[in-house]
Structures are given as structure tokens and as C-alpha cells.
Amino acid sequence: MTGFSSQWLSLREPADHRARNAVLCQEVCRYFEQHSDLGKSEQSALNITDLGCGTGSNLRALAESFPAHQHWTLIDYDPDLLNAARIALEDWADEVTAQHGVIEKNPPLRFLKNSKQITVHFMQVDLAKNIESVLAGKANLVTAAAFFDLVSPAWITRFCQSLKVPLFTVLTYDGIEKWSPAHFADQPVLEAFHAHQGTDKGFGLSAGPGAIEIIQTQLSARGFKIQLEKSPWLLKAPADQALMQALATGSAAAVGQTQKISNSDLEAWLSARLQAQTCEIGHWDLFAIPA
């Protein structure tokens, strides 16, 4: 999966962090607190695998709530995003621990953040082909953010068949978009955007807004306990205007590729959306625990 710039991911990160469901995040933290040994020492560090990590936003959102010792494996197909993640995490850290020993091509990053001792491994992997081998690795938790709506139902099935540990996935798009003031083209533009979202992003035809229901059905059938909570973006001008304008511009570009909306209607919609006052984008957060 490619096509997401580090600039776009940086722009959306504050909104992503605000939108995450705090109640469900507390449930995840409570679950690992019950495993008294996990994260208490370097030898028993909590191991987290982050799929489609981008620039590391998911780690920055979660790490300070997790136990004192953490090992993260950040996985993405785009080497530029992995490099951007390393740089962003170095800047975010309170102190980067000195590296010793043999110099590696892509060495792990070790740092301190608010007394948390965190080791990060960066892996360039084609998850479309290799999800089974990734899930066979050592992990206590698999996580992802804004990821599963971009993969196919068949890939989700493969993922669920191979998952053996808890899953915490956040910000899975649910298809709800509400802009204000309202515009006559809102609904046809949204339908065209969903048609575009259903195209192949590298994993087959994407599940789009149906992704969270597919995950829930697949994992429930395998005995997982599922907890779901809403996590919408609630954007408001002027504070979120740059993100809203980037979102509108990107959506219009995607819709234009479908040729389902006339150029005049799409231009009118984009002009209105560049001046929108508020925007709500619906998401779900999901925590799934194996039986």
C-alpha cells in the first residue's frame, strides 16, 4: 500500500489522536495490567506489532499508556514513511539511547519517553503477500490505525485466520461524513467517494466502510471477545481548517477519477467544502481478545 505522504499523515495526526476512543484505550491498558509480568522489565517487555505504521502516529498515541518496557515493530511497505517514522520518533523522544555493537543497515531505535523504555524495529514488508509470516512473529498485541478499510475482504479473512493475539485497531472508516453548511452534492459526492474507496489499494478491492463488520464477524466466529466504540473526527474551523481543506481536496480528486459526478457539480462542492465550518468523519475503534 502506497500513496500516503508524510505531510498528510502529520496533518491528520492531531485529529486522529483526539478521535481515539478513550474508554476503549483504557480497556486495552487494563487488559495488559492484568498480565502482571508484561512490561515490568526489559526481559518481559510488551511486544506490539503495528501494521501500516506510516510515520509512527499509533505508537505516539499509545506508548505513554502502556507498561514501562515496550518493544514495537513498525511495519510499512513505503521505505520513505519508515524513515520519516524514525525521524519523528527521535524528535518525540525525551532521550535517544546510544547505540552499541555492530552497525546495522536499519538498526532499532531505543529511547526514553516519560520514563517508558521503548525499542522500535522498522520493517519494510509487503503485507498483501506476507501477513501470515508477520502474525507468526513474537507479539502480545497487533495494532493498526486507519488501515483496515483500505484492504480487501479476502485479505481480512486471511488476517483473522492467522491472528492469535489481541487486536487493537483504531480509526477504521465507517462511511459517515457530515459537512456543514449542507450542500446539494454532498450525497452523490459521498457515494462516488465510496466507489473510489472500493478500488484496489494493493490488497485487492477494498472493503471500505464494510471493513469493521467483516473483522467483527470473522473474529467472533473464531471465539474472540469483541469491544467496539465510535471514534469520529469532529473537525471545526478555524482550528482544523487546514485538515478540512486537505480532506476536501483529496476527496474531490478521488471522486473526479470515478467520473460519476459532473465537473461543475464537483467544482461547486469543492468550493463550498473549502469554506466549510464543521466536518464529521465516522470511524470505529475495535479491541478483540482471543478466547
Q: What is the Cα gyration radius of the chain?
A: 20
- 195 lies in a domain? no
> What's the rounded mean pLDDT across residues 260-277?
97
- 112 lies in a domain? yes
- 278 lies in a domain? no
- 196 lies in a domain? no
Task: Give the number of domains in the chain.
Answer: 1
> What pLDDT score does 104 carry?
60
- 272 lies in a domain? no
- Residue 150 sits in which domain range? 6-176+204-234+283-289
> What's the rounded mean pLDDT across residues 252-265?
96
Whole-angstrom Cα distance, residue 160 to residue 8? Answer: 29
Which residues 6+ apart lie within 8 Å of 78 measured at CB? 1, 2, 4, 124
Percent of the chain with pLDDT over 90: 89
- 81 lies in a domain? yes
> What pLDDT score does 98 carry?
59
- 30 lies in a domain? yes
> What's the rounded mean pLDDT across residues 222-243?
97
CATH number at 149 reads 3.40.50.150
pTM of the predicted structure, to 2 decimals? 0.94
- Give the pLDDT confidence of 146-187 residue by residue, as tens digits: 999 999 999 999 999 999 999 999 999 999 999 999 999 999
